Amino acid sequence: MEESGKTVGWDGAVNAWHVAGDVYRMGRREWLTEAGWQQTYDGGIRTVVDLRNDDERQRRESDPPVSPAVLAAFDVVLAPTEDPGSSEFRAICGPYLNNPASYADNARLFPEKLAGVFKAVAAAQGGVVIHCSAGRDRSGMVAAMLQDLAGDTDDAIVLGYQRSMRGINEYRRLAAVPHPHERYLPDEVLVPLLEFRGGSLLKFVRSLKTGEYLRRHGVTDTELTAILRKLGRLQ
């Protein structure tokens, strides 16, 4: 088992981190090479929970080729955290979710979608990796909620998000495909953002009270117990 909070060295993976127990997070799965997929399999991963919307799930010319036989070993669950067609969501978060200050609105607008993510984790076979596009905000929102369930400290939860900010920022430095809205940020710009967004993340997750929120929106105690087992908090 990887050390909690440790970066994960799957070949090709971008912004890949261990959350807790058998649960991991990363950026878009298309970045993984065939060797990287084999490494995830060898590490016990059997389920991939994709938090992206339909129009984001596409290969790019720069993505490495991976044989269908390798991918067939994994159960890919599509579980978006938002409805991108929502005018209220676009007004608050547009052009996309990129700040923990907006997570509470995401949770308010789309509780059934977040509940669906956690139901997918509960039902998953083997180890689980959750991912969005950058591996920062949608993954960060879900990871913080998982860490809250796991009983992690404030510092651990904030550090998890800040690592993901640094991870995708470093990727942007030499990215083969430039992001339409984001560029690499030098430390004098990044560090104040790390502090502000880390504080916003902690305020969100501690106010949400993840277990109570999920129960209100249809996640059963049996499913919460299964999630805690995935997180290594129960035998």
22-62, pLDDT tens digit by residue? Answer: 999 999 999 999 999 999 999 999 999 999 999 999 999 99
Summarize pLDDT for 148-176 with one digit per residue, the tens.
999 999 999 999 999 999 999 999 998 88
The whole-number average pLDDT for the span 206-235 is 97
pLDDT-derived band at 99 (thresholds 50, 70, 90) equals very high
- Determine the pLDDT at residue 20: 96
- Determine the pLDDT at residue 5: 77
With a cut of 90, say whether residue 66 has pLDDT above it: yes
Summarize pLDDT for 129-150 with one digit per residue, the tens.
999 999 999 999 999 999 999 9
Query: Among 66, 114, 118, 109, which Cα is nearest to 90's?
Result: 109
With a cut of 70, say whether residue 4 has pLDDT above it: no
The whole-number average pLDDT for the span 189-204 is 97
The whole-number average pLDDT for the span 84-94 is 92
Secondary element (H or E) of residue 78? strand 75-78
- Determine the pLDDT at residue 212: 98
State the amino acid at position 77 in one-letter form: V
With a cut of 80, say whether residue 186 has pLDDT above it: yes
Task: Find the range with the poorest average confidence among 175-184, 200-209, 219-228.
Answer: 175-184
**Spatial separation of the C-alpha atoms in residues 229 and 235, rounded to whole Å:** 6
The whole-number average pLDDT for the span 201-229 is 98
By percentage, how much of the chain surpasses pLDDT 70?
A: 98
In the block, tokens 């956690």 appear at: 118
Average pLDDT taken over every residue of the chain: 95
* Helix ranges (DSSP H) in the chain: 34-42, 68-71, 87-93, 103-109, 111-123, 138-150, 154-173, 187-208, 210-216, 221-230
Biggest alpha carbon–alpha carbon distance for the chain = 46
**Spatial separation of the C-alpha atoms in residues 162 and 166, rounded to whole Å:** 6
pLDDT-derived band at 180 (thresholds 50, 70, 90) equals confident
The whole-number average pLDDT for the span 214-233 is 98
With a cut of 60, say whether residue 1 has pLDDT above it: no
